[in-house]
Structure 1
Amino acid sequence: MSITSFELKTYLDSLLRTNEIADYCPNGLQVEGSSRVQKIVTGVTASQALIDAAIAKGADTLLVHHGYFWKGESQPIVGMKKRRIASLLANDINLFAYHLPLDVHAELGNNRQLGELIGASDITAAANAKPSGVVMHGKLESEHTTASLQQKLSEVLKRSVLAEGDSSAPISTVAWCTGGGQNFIEQAAELGVDAFVTGEVSEQTIHTAREMGIVFFAAGHHATERYGVKALGEHLHSHFDIDVEFIDIDNPA
């Protein structure tokens, strides 16, 4: 089966509500390639390694969470940026990228997917963090300690996880924000949950966790954001009956 790139763009922009969510980059079709879409490769970041993998797979479309043209980045298309875009253009590959709209989607988003992965129930978007869905919270299926939740996160995300807090502290409620969401720790603490999970950590995050009495986990930016774009690709496969393949480019960050 195949669809047009315009059909795909229209569907994704509507599904992910791109016109409703302010972001730091353009969401949607960033680089135009083939007008027909038959093979989609999905991945976290449009790195050269992922582009090369998409080329090797014969893909005409690349769908990612982290694309290009970020606010504040250098505008000239030179060096690494030139090589990446040249590879896409030379192989007639569309690049679709969805950042915050994919983070916050109520069913397919990174946050929803991470919540399900860690076994949370009663998943709800935090009202004190915008855009809606950028922080979610819920109850764990079974009570954990800091140490046991750290172990669970390490197992499901397949990487080491930093934990700050009493290793024996009981945890039954948790908030989370995938990726670089450490600055939402105060909003998480205001929810009254036992713990906050995100991808990255800053120096001041540890002091905030200690002083606000919330257990903190940094589980990796890449590791916590694999699952939204993977779920989105699976949805497209089911909806359009089109060939979609997720490729995970290893990244320890």
Structure 2
Amino acid sequence: MSENEAGLPGVDPRVPNPARIYNYFLGGKDNFAADRAAAEAVLAMAPEVRVAARENREFLVRAVDYLTRGVGIRQFVDIGAGIPAERPVHEVAQAVDPDARVAYVDNDTIVLSHARALLDRGRGTAVVGGDVREPEAILEAPELAGLIDVGRPVAVILIAVLHFVPDSDDPAALVRRLADRLPSGSHVVITHLSDGGVPDDPRIAATRELYRGGLHFRPRKEIEALFDGLELVEPGLVGVGEWRRAGAGGTSWWLAGVARKA
């Protein structure tokens, strides 16, 4: 990552950043030394995290392909999109239908800078500054409203973002507020870090400390509650490596699901 980006407002290269750490897990180069050090500390405790991050990304590709090809969704709102990675949502969707539209939403300065520089907004994409904790503001943003018709079915993508939302902000209520604004036939795609049924695993506490307490490993029951009021499509809530992937095993730390609004 360039020194110019280190000088962006609100960017401190000395403080590890979740989007840049995730970029490092995926093998990207858009990160600083502090991000790499934090990522390596996580990998020292749980080497499988790098594989899990890639499984998470592969799930996203499969989910978008399913929604575009199998369901007929042509509009996507990717909230907490992160630094652009290989096979972004619009490439997957537009491989099925070149007219598919995707709005990428994030509240991170570097993410927005990269997204605006790399994405061809002439091909059915938009980059929107927004926070998942303010769902109405996201859906009403002029950049999104100019691209996405919320009167027609939309897929809202929440990949690896809700585990950064504390209980005090009620992540399940945030999902409901998003879904309530969308018509029947819309879908919600979620991945979330699980405690793996072992909430006292010391690696969870150590990882949360690296993320300054801003990372929340939730039990399966609480992740299932994120889909309340929606219809989970088969195979339901499963590990990211298992969702519609034949013969897959995968990690138990990341759970994934796709749900439909009736």
**When the two structures are superposed, what TM-score results if normalisation uses the length of structure 2?**
0.31
**When the two structures are superposed, what TM-score results if normalisation uses the length of structure 1?**
0.31
Higher-Rg structure is: 1
More helix by share: 2
More strand by share: 1
Q: Which has the higher contact order (CA 8 A, sep 6+)?
A: 1
